[in-house]
Amino acid sequence: MRRQARWGWLFVSPWLLGFLVFTAGPMLASLFLSFHVYDLHSMRYVGAENYRRLFTVDPVFLKSLRITVVYALLAVPLGVAGSLALAVLLNQRVRGLPLFRTLFYLPSLVPSVATGIVWQWVFNTDNGALNQGLGLLGVPPIAWLQDERWTLPAFVLMSLWGVGGTRMIIFLAGLQGIPESLTEAAALDGATPWRRFRNVTLPLLSPVLFFNVVMGVIGAFQIFATAYVMTGGGPNDASRFYALYLFQTAFEQFKLGKASAMAWVLFLILMAITGLQFYGSRRWVYYEKAGT
């Protein structure tokens, strides 16, 4: 038994080493840094000053936090609903399912820098696809990335290009795991398609839905590369998302203490949201009692 344990530790040791050196250690180090002013050359203890200043004297931070929250509030529900809807459509035994699945999946394969560059054109005021399409409907051109009222909706819209990605495949796998006998039984009892979806499919899918929502929120809070490429944060900070502002604070201004405080605020926010979701999940997530 002791030998068993020794081998076990030995085999997991690469991960454990990486975890300690690149995850656990740095987490504590960034907490430490967040109470200091540090620019790679000199370090000075300032107590909670970094945190205090973020919330009192840095209007860019507050705006960055606000637009990121709004972005998540829009992009996550729309994105999750879109992925679920696509998965349900694809699960209807339609002709050419593999082709459709591939077509819907492709956008999420596009690297984020490339996505940013391509969508810069989609949002182009004069000859972008979106304004040309809207023009056919008689809508006057919108300066998506130049008019700060439209920047956030533009980013949400762009995020929806990815609804056919990983999340949809996970939903589809979940849907395919639901025994048909259950929905058929409900149909025999006279349940409408909507009621069958609402009362049979959705509860059985709830663990997957929960997983997708939790990961979706975490992902939305970290939107970075597309904003970096498309707008650099503008206009008027309307797309200076949290992770972008954090990156610029750390690696362009080299205010590493302040950036560490921002990182911890992000971490605490995500912990709180995730914790709340786990707490709330007891009311709506249905776990099958499986044999495993």
Show contacts with another protein in window 53-92 (CB under 8 A): 86, 89-90, 92
Residue 107 or residue 153: which is nearer to another protein going by CB? 107
Query: What is each CA distance from 55 to 59, 66, 99, 268, in whole angstroms?
Result: 8, 12, 50, 15
Considering the complex, what minimum distance in angstroms separates the CB of residue 161 from another protein?
7
Largest Cα–Cα distance in the chain?
76
45 binds another protein (CB under 8 A): no
DSSP category for residue 140 = P
- Tell me the per-residue interface mask from 157 to 196 with another protein, x by CB under 8 A, - otherwise: ----x--x-x--xxxxxx------------------x---
Please give the residues from 123 up to 142 whose contact with another protein meets the rule CB under 8 A. 127, 129
How many CB atoms within 10 Å of residue 105?
Answer: 15
- Between 39 and 149, whose beta carbon lies closer to another protein? 39
- Total residues at the site for another protein (CB under 8 A)? 95
Q: Residue 184 and residue 193: Cα distance in Å, rounded?
A: 10
37 has which bridge partners? 44
Cβ-based nearer residue to another protein, 149 or 157: 157
Q: How far is CA 172 from CA 73, 84, 192, in A?
A: 24, 8, 21
**Residue whose structure tokens are 């931070």:** 61
Which segment (53-61, 62-70, 139-147, 210-218) binds another protein by CB under 8 A? 210-218
Please state the length of the chain.
292
Sketch the per residue contact string, 233 through 272, with another protein: x for CB under 8 A, - otherwise: ----------x--xx--xx----x--xx-xxx-xx--x--
Smaller CB separation from another protein, 1 or 137: 1
Q: Where are the beta strands (DSSP E) in 152-202?
A: none
